[in-house]
Amino acid sequence: MAAAGGAAQPPRQYKLAPQSELRVEVPPDAPVRVRLVAGTAEVFGTELPPEGWVPVPPRSKIAIFTWHGATVELDGASESEYSSDETPMVIYVNTHAILDARRARARAAAAQGAPLEASQGPRVIIVGPSDSGKSTLCKMLLSWAAKQGWKPTYVDLDIGQGSITIPGCISATPIEKPIDIVDGIPLEMPLAYFYGHPSPSVSPDVYRALMKELAQTLDKQFSGNSESRAAGMIINTMGWVENLGLELLHNSIEIFKANVILVLGQEKLWKILKDATKNKPGIDVVKLHKSEGVVPRNPKYRQKTRSFRIKEYFYGIANDLAPHSNVVNFSDVSVYKIGSHQAPKSALPIGAEPVADPTRLIAVNISTDMVHTVLAVSYAKEPDEIISSNVAGFIHVTDVDIQRKKLTYIAPCPGDLPSKLLIASSLTWYEA
């Protein structure tokens, strides 16, 4: 049964056979909710509670999976919905079981006083082209691990979408319980470094530098916390897997010291990474099938999703937050950007080499060009600490008054900014 998007629909029931799933696409502006009537079922590793209605966030693509059979009820107009028994879930849960065993070995090693390397749990990096189901597999592996009592660290390197905080960030957060179906990744303690663009091609050196900063910070945390070290990491990556994208993928594997590489949906990439790591003992490269339920997204859809993620930051997933508008004098804040657009070698005189430092800090004059852009608030005390500092949060510029030298912005909470050092970006959002 497939639904006509936008048409009013009565609640409908699906009786799912064991090891099958109901795939649902939720439109951007029509509420959809789901209810477990009988049996047991889960959404990306998180169990559906019995009987109660659970709202599904707008623009979601979810799969309600059951191991032993279930009856579920849907209410609301979805863009599409259908059940399928073609699912890679058994392979995915077997992968989780292997990772779980490695965590247990790492914990036991730590208890015996083994060196840090021997007590390091799995550092799993999930790679594959766009729309291969990487972030979905991340959620499953994280939720299953949390259900077993582990607190794995989720690392998101996909600056185009941003599943921990807004797009344009390289970020990480500990996952202490299965990921909430409605609220998504918890935001209490994210560690975010602001790159400020939806693609690493704008400034790949800055992207690498920020990956290194995040990896070093996590290594420090792990060195003093054997439980976090044993639980390990689940690392999500972007879908650009050719040319510069592939080079940055190699960089991320090295920088985060990944010891398990899960390749989704592309045999060629699996072969490339297998060959690249064959002389590096202790790294497993595993090819996994992607789910047939993965839906391709075009660039326009991705852009809309980015805007939605930014709006969500300020207004909440259910549009239930009220951001605060504030005004500051130009003299009260300093805006910087990291890195400069450098001319390609082909545009330089013959024999000349580019000399600009690709990660240097550049002061930015406040102008009307900043209206509708997102700025990050840095934890840095001094400008030269910006690239090595994570960010406290984000503001959205709503007005720039050049004559009065006033900048108006919205922020998620009232009060003064925690820092006067702001980082510029190319991320824009237009309030409807």
Q: Mean pLDDT per 10-residue run, the chain (432 residues)?
A: 54 96 89 94 94 87 95 93 93 97 96 89 96 93 97 96 92 95 81 95 94 97 95 96 96 97 95 94 94 77 86 86 94 90 55 67 94 96 94 96 97 92 94 70
What pLDDT was estimated at residue 2?
A: 45
What pLDDT score does 4 carry? 45
**What pLDDT was estimated at residue 189?**
73
Total Cβ atoms within 10 A of residue 7 = 8
Residue 374's beta-bridge partner residues?
396
Cα–Cα dist 239/247, whole Å: 13
Instruction: Tell me, yes or no, if the two domains 12-87 and 322-423 fold the same way.
Output: no
| CA 195 to each of CA 170, 199, 219: distance values in angstroms, whole numbers, following the listed order | 7, 9, 21
Which residues does 420 contact at the CB level (< 8 Å), separation at least 6?
332, 333, 334
* Whole-angstrom distance, CA of residue 340 vs CA of residue 426: 13
Tell me the C-alpha distance between 47 and 36, whole Å.
Answer: 10
At 353 the pLDDT is 57
Residue 131 pLDDT = 86
pLDDT at residue 255, as a whole number: 98
How far is Cα of residue 123 from the mean position of the Cα atoms in its chain?
A: 16
**12-87: CATH number:** 2.60.120.1030
Long-range contacts of 171-178 (CB under 8 A, 24+ apart): 171/214, 172/214, 172/218, 172/233, 174/228, 175/142, 175/143, 175/145, 175/146, 175/151, 176/146, 176/151, 177/146, 178/45, 178/46, 178/47, 178/143, 178/144, 178/146, 178/147
List the chain domain ranges: 12-87, 89-288, 322-423
pTM score: 0.92
* The pLDDT value given to residue 3: 45
Q: What letter would DSSP give residue 193?
A: E
**β-sheet bridge partners, residue 409:** 326, 397
Residue in 93, 94, 242, 229 with CA at minimum distance from that of residue 174: 229
CATH topology of domain 89-288: Rossmann fold (3.40.50)
Nearest CA to 236 among 122, 133, 86? 133
322-423 adopts what CATH topology? Elongation Factor Tu (Ef-tu); domain 3 (2.40.30)
d(CA 371, CA 373) in angstroms, rounded, equals 6
